[in-house]
Chains A and B, each alone.
Chain A
């Protein structure tokens, strides 16, 4: 893939990225969240089309207009979000779209399909009846079926996105054996993972991406973990993160004790004081968003307590918002904003009950308040009536924060606040967080950008495998300490 560029409205995902992979090579693709890895993969498998650049196969330019083209050219992908069909059985899922034809034209040879499926699963060390329906499988089992599905396409290029996230050591070992066999058979494997120690086990070459651009490509042999981490993080451009940190934190605003929820996160204990910015770091899938949703009441709490200003916080988002908690969700467009409605309508949504307890909505006072918040947050919008969909990523995020300003929240949970936002706007968001804390509020910030956590938070908790594994006070807060805690494996 040479000189690939791709831009989405508001953000430039890929900027002239090149990636060359040899046959029979396991090529690691590294980069922080939002570095453009998944966009590159979607282009390779025909789901997206690049704005510029071309894809060469054996040196010849390949026409990749649809997933069908990709599959015909022998490109197979295992996505991070699962691609199984819930009410089809394991064999049907593995061979979806490529069912072995039976005696009569157009029919399937179901016996052969199930036999092949069982054979594939055996090579991956999974004892499973191929007639079981996908929705009855555990997460680890689903992951193995996904891998079996990709392997069954005997592809020439195999892409694996975080394949070992939910696997046990035994299953990982079987997977690596299989990958080595593929390598020997001349298959080119593109392997995406945050577990840097896996590079030593099976990696040949490594390419690092940051903010949609090539940073470096080097042989696995001469790449040390520390060096790779530096390349992934890079020296973020000197942005003014935070002028001063909080010396004297106020009273405990949020106290979470041994919290478990139905979304998989378990046994978390943490506390946040007024005036503090507390970080929540960890790798993808470590359960940070799940913890935030559990505190906010978006998902059902199974065990443990959440106390906000001394009072228990239970009963869903309605109670949390009324108590003064605000959530800036990870996925702005899906969970933070109503894109078709105006800036004003979005900003007022959370605060309606507080501003107009009688239920009568007074336009005049609403307008005054919204204009005040737009000015304070310096939201760049031609008018308060403008539908939010036309705003840039940074300004959309400001509207979400503005929503909680209007609601008078005193405690902000911000999930990946600066993801997909250009560098300039990031500084604005940091200034905003500082302003919040200065007014006596408290912030729990989830971020995958370690530099951001280190530079902005007073202290941070680190999560792994859906629970909190450590707390780093200001003095101990360095990127490598966070990463080692986050990646330390079993």
Chain B
């Protein structure tokens, strides 16, 4: 818990600084706007958190969102049924997750190189499949999922809350959740305690893929169109959110609440930069610095912890 308090304090300071410098920051609509943007990053980052908990990583989430959104959009257009389209997106997202899982478990490939190869393969397939076309014009009801309001609160925020709840239940109140943490903390000890390593790793990568599929549907609704390069700018912020949230790359330590806080922190910074009219080309620089800072803190806390063994 100590780690989360430290991160909440960080958000409060950024928020305070912004509210002082721009008067439009501390308005309800802006806060809701930040929450909605953060909820989209959180969608992808939540699935990613599980892979990082097992000391692995899924670099293909961005490309996964791109392909799943295009496929879902195409099916939605041709069959006219939103449900079928959404199902396609989720199924394809999870399917890519299964492929990643198999590469990590059966072929025992280092997770980040396997998913890095998958990232470029998916990019190629999406470009070829779309061939430059875009699919647009989805029914209003569906678009509400992305940009609609319910009781004055943007819909994606409910989705974020539901996902957070499901994630916390999974990590704290299911045996599989505990086993995922154990695999990350000490994989050999978990194996020798009868934890089915392969099954859990596959589960984790399927979750990551499925979350990317879900995010694809929400982006589809929010953007009201499917384009080939929709997923390209999403991978780095998702990884940054997980790391800023305190989930350690070395596995076994972290939480979904932390990832949510990470997503919020990142979105706040970008929102702040926009409000302060800072040129957009500074954003990759700032994100890069934040990622390194977050991981450095993770390494330092880990070193201090290890010193006591």
Q: Are A and B in contact, CB atoms below 8 Å, in the complex? A: yes
> In the complex, A78→B195 CA distance in Å?
38
* Total contacts A-B at CB 8 Å: 87
Stretch at the interface among A140-148, A169-177, A230-238, A315-323: A315-323
Contacts of A16 in B (CB 8 A): none
Is B305 an interface residue when CB atoms closer than 8 A count as contact? yes
Interface residue from A329, A353, A361 paired with B177 (Cβ < 8 Å) = A361
**CB < 8 Å neighbour of B182 from A9, A317, A335, A349:** A349
| B194 CB contacts on chain A under 8 angstroms | 317-318, 320-322, 350, 353, 407
Q: Which of B186, B188, B195 contacts A339 (CB 8 A)?
A: B186
Q: Does A65 contact B (CB under 8 A)?
A: no
Q: Mark A308-340, 1 if CB is under 8 A from B, else 0.
A: 000000000110111000010100011111111
Contact residues of B between 178 and 198, Cβ < 8 Å to A = 178-179, 181-182, 185-186, 188-196
Residues of A within 8 A of B305 (CB): 340, 389
CB neighbours of B191 from chain A (8 A): 298, 317
Question: In the bound complex, do residue A345 and residue B178 qualify as a contact, i.e. CB atoms below 8 Å apart?
Answer: yes
CB proximity of A385 to chain B, nearest CB, Å: 11
Does A340 lie within 8 Å of B175, measured CB to CB? Answer: no
- A296 is an interface residue with CB less than 8 A from chain B: yes
Q: Is the CB of B193 within 8 A of A403?
A: yes
Considering the chains assembled together, what is the distance between the CA atoms of A359 and B178 in angstroms?
10
A302 to B23, CA, bound (A): 73
Give chain B residues whose Cβ lies under 8 Å from the Cβ of A407: 193-194
Contact of B175 among A298, A334, A335, A353 (CB under 8 A): A353
Q: Which residues of the other chain, B, contact A338 by a CB distance below 8 angstroms?
A: 181-182, 185-186, 189-190, 252
Chain B nearest CB: distance from A135 CB in Å? 17
Q: Which residues of B contact A341 (CB under 8 A)?
A: 181-182, 185, 252
Contact residues of A: prevailing secondary structure: helix
Number of interface residues of B (CB under 8 A): 26
A360 adjacent to B173 (CB under 8 Å)? yes
Which residue of chain B has the shortest Cβ distance to A337 in the bound complex?
Answer: B189
A82 interfacial contact with B, CB 8 Å: no
Q: How many residues of chain A are within 8 Å of chain B by beta carbon?
A: 34
Residue of A333, A335, A356 with highest tally of chain B CB at under 10 A: A335
Does B222 have its Cβ within 8 Å of any Cβ on chain A?
no
Chain A residues whose C-beta falls within 8 Å of the C-beta of B177 in the assembled complex = 361
Instruction: Determine if B27 is an interface residue (Cβ-Cβ < 8 Å).
Output: no
Q: Given A359-B174, A361-B174, A389-B309, do A340 and B253 touch, yes or no (CB 8 Å)?
A: yes
A390 within 8 A of B: yes
Instruction: Kindly list chain A residues whose C-beta atoms are within 8 Å of the C-beta of B252.
Output: 338, 340-341
Q: Please tell me if A348 contacts chain B, counting CB pairs below 8 Å.
A: yes
Assess whether A9 is in contact with B181, with CB atoms less than 8 Å apart. no
* Chain B positions within 8 Å of A390 at CB level: 308
Given A318-B196, A341-B181, A345-B182: A335 and B174 interface contact (C-beta under 8 Å) = no
Q: Is the CB of A361 within 8 A of B172?
A: yes
Closest chain-A Cβ to B185's Cβ sits at a distance in Å of 3
B7 within 8 A of A: no
Q: Do A352 and B175 have beta carbons less than 8 Å apart? A: yes
Q: How far is the CB of A367 from chain B (nearest CB, A)?
A: 13
Whole-angstrom CA separation of A321 from B309 in the bound complex: 28
Given A352-B175, A361-B174, answer yes or no on A335-B192 (Cβ-Cβ < 8 Å): yes
Query: Is A349 within 8 A of B188, CB to CB?
Result: no
A335/B188 in contact, CB under 8 A: yes
**CB <8 Å contact, A337 and B186:** yes
Q: How far is the CA of A296 from the CA of B309 in the complex (A)?
A: 28
Encode contact with A along B145-186: 1 for CB under 8 Å, 0 otherwise: 000000000000000000000000000111111110110011
Q: Is the CB of B189 within 8 A of A361?
A: no
Mark out the residues of chain A between 131 and 172 whose CB falls within 8 Å of any chain B CB in the assembled complex. Answer: none
Residue of B nearest to A319 (CB): B194
Q: Which residues of A contact B175 (CB under 8 A)?
A: 352-353, 356, 359-361
B182: chain A residues within 8 A (beta carbon): 338, 341, 345, 349
The distance in angstroms between the C-alpha atoms of A56 and B52, with both chains bound, is 50
Most buried by B among A296, A320, A336, A341: A341
Choose one: B178, B192, B195; the contact of A329 (CB below 8 Å).
Answer: B192
CB proximity of A418 to chain B, nearest CB, Å: 19
Which of A335, A349, A403 is most buried by chain B, counting CB atoms within 10 A of its CB? A349
A317: which B residues are within 8 A, CB to CB? 191-194
A339-B309 contact, Cβ under 8 Å, with A321-B193, A329-B192: yes
Partner of B181 from A333, A335, A345 at Cβ < 8 Å:
A345
**Contact residues, A354-376 vs B (CB, 8 A):** 356, 359-361, 363
Distance, CA A321 to CA B194, complexed state (A): 5
B192 touching A336 by the CB < 8 A rule?
yes
Contact of A349 among B172, B193, B308, B309 (CB under 8 A): B193
- Residues in A with CB closer than 8 Å to B188 are 334-335
**Complex: how many Å from CA A329 to CA B253?**
24
The chain B residue sitting closest to A390, CB to CB, is B308
Given contacts A321-B193, A334-B188, A338-B185, contact A361 B308 (CB under 8 A): no
CA distance A349 to B187 in the complex (A): 12
The residue in chain A whose Cβ has the minimal distance to the Cβ of B194 is: A321
Contact with A along B287-309 (1 / 0, CB 8 A): 00000000000000000010011
19 A–B contact pairs at CB < 8 A? A298-B191, A317-B192, A318-B194, A322-B194, A334-B188, A335-B186, A338-B189, A340-B253, A341-B181, A348-B178, A349-B178, A349-B182, A350-B193, A350-B194, A352-B175, A360-B175, A361-B174, A361-B178, A407-B193
Chain A residues in the interface with B (C-beta under 8 A): 9, 296, 298, 317-318, 320-322, 327, 329, 333-341, 345, 348-350, 352-353, 356, 359-361, 363, 389-390, 403, 407
Contact residues of B with A, CB < 8 Å? 172-179, 181-182, 185-186, 188-196, 252-253, 305, 308-309
Q: A317-B192, A318-B194, A361-B175 are in contact. List 7 more A-B contacts (CB 8 A).
A: A334-B188, A336-B192, A339-B185, A340-B185, A341-B182, A345-B181, A349-B195
Nearest 3 pairs between A and B by C-beta?
A: A321-B194, A338-B185, A352-B175
